[in-house]
Chain A
């Protein structure tokens, strides 16, 4: 199951972005929680529907779990419908690597 973390940049040291639809980058992790790729979010500047489109993108990529800071009501509905797990982290001082490291403790 693939995981997505919303990130402010495209490296492992980038800060975790708490926005979902308007987060700058999506960091995709593979099933064994290794960073696979960074996908630029083209919807950062969108005036509306960013959350919905980002959620559709997750479905398209076959993501099973999304880690972000907040989900809008529409994004939440859509992710719920496709049974994608949402994880909310409140701590904005984290980097992408910090979150990946948390998985390694398992």
Chain B
């Protein structure tokens, strides 16, 4: 029996649900599913320009595992571009960084430093806040 997949830490989930090509005749009906951790790998390596070792530490996985996730992400994006497929963001094996909260009334996202006592929104002071999920 294979070993259980360890969860990958993701700081912030992608801000989109998917991407769809336009200006093509006949969209391929099958979508490419980009996992949250794959999005995170692309973001860390190619947007934040981090080294793989560093990025792997941030996601709580080994460097080879990071490299595999990153490769899979690149291949999926390439496949989507070439085969004009839609990309869909899927949760995957991610665990979201717990330190972020979201205000339910003004949708601001924020952290609560340890020294803070109250759990209210720093902007609108609403008490309706919850840890950021999905």
Contacts and interface: CB of A to CB of B under 8 A. Distances in A.
A71 B130 CA distance: 20
B50 A73 contact: yes
A90 B124 CA distance: 15
Contacts of B114: 83
Interface residues on chain A, size class: 20 to 34
B32 to A, nearest CB: 25
A79 B115 CA distance: 13
B112 interface: yes
A84 interface: yes
Contacts of A90: 15, 107, 109
B49 A85 contact: no
Nearest to A106: B125
A87 B110 contact: yes
Interface residues of B, number: 25
A99 B109 CA distance: 14
A79 B113 CA distance: 9
A41 B103 CA distance: 29
A11 B36 CA distance: 38
Contacts of B100: 88
A76 B109 contact: no
Nearest to B102: A88
Interface of A: 48, 65, 67, 70, 72-73, 76, 79-80, 83-90, 99, 102-103, 105-106
Interface of B: 11-12, 15, 44, 48-50, 58, 99-100, 106-116, 122-125
Given A70-B12, A83-B114, A85-B110, 8 more contacts: A65-B122, A73-B44, A73-B58, A76-B11, A87-B108, A90-B15, A105-B124, A106-B124
